[in-house]
Amino acid sequence: MTVFEAFRTVVNDDLDELLHVNNVRYVQWIQDLAKDHWITATTPLQQKENIWVLLSHHIEYKSSAVLHDEIHLKTYVTRSKGVTSTRIVEMYHKDTDKLIVKSETNWCLLNGTTKKPKRITAEIVNVF
């Protein structure tokens, strides 16, 4: 299992009316992190031949983040079978290492040309 990591600093546009990071922003960061992991770990040809689509998303909000907090994001794939893959994303306060958000998303691999489900190959499993 390869853990992909990134960092974000909370800015004004991330906040809701309670001055915490908006739940929708966390969902966007989860999607962006998964995409960044895929792009970093694969070749342009793999990216052209394969497309991931989201099937389901479960998210737990454990704590909150506010303006200027630095967030440590981690993601990893826990299962790949058939045409589906399960990905975990965890977000922590960088300074305290306190868990803010944990999500589990299920993705389906599609053929980049036909847009039909495609079995996940060993080559792709080995990337993660």
121: CATH: 3.10.129.10
Work out the pLDDT band at 1, boundaries 50, 70, 90. Answer: confident
Q: How many CA atoms lie within 13 A of 97 on its CB side?
A: 0
**Which phi and psi (to 5°) does residue 35 adopt?**
-65, -45
Helix locations, the chain, DSSP H: 23-41, 44-49, 122-127
Structure tokens at 13: 């546009």
pLDDT in tens, 57-97: 999 999 999 999 999 999 999 999 999 999 999 999 999 99
Number of folded domains that form the chain: 1
**Which phi and psi (to 5°) does residue 44 adopt?**
-55, -35
pLDDT in tens, 110-121: 999 999 999 999
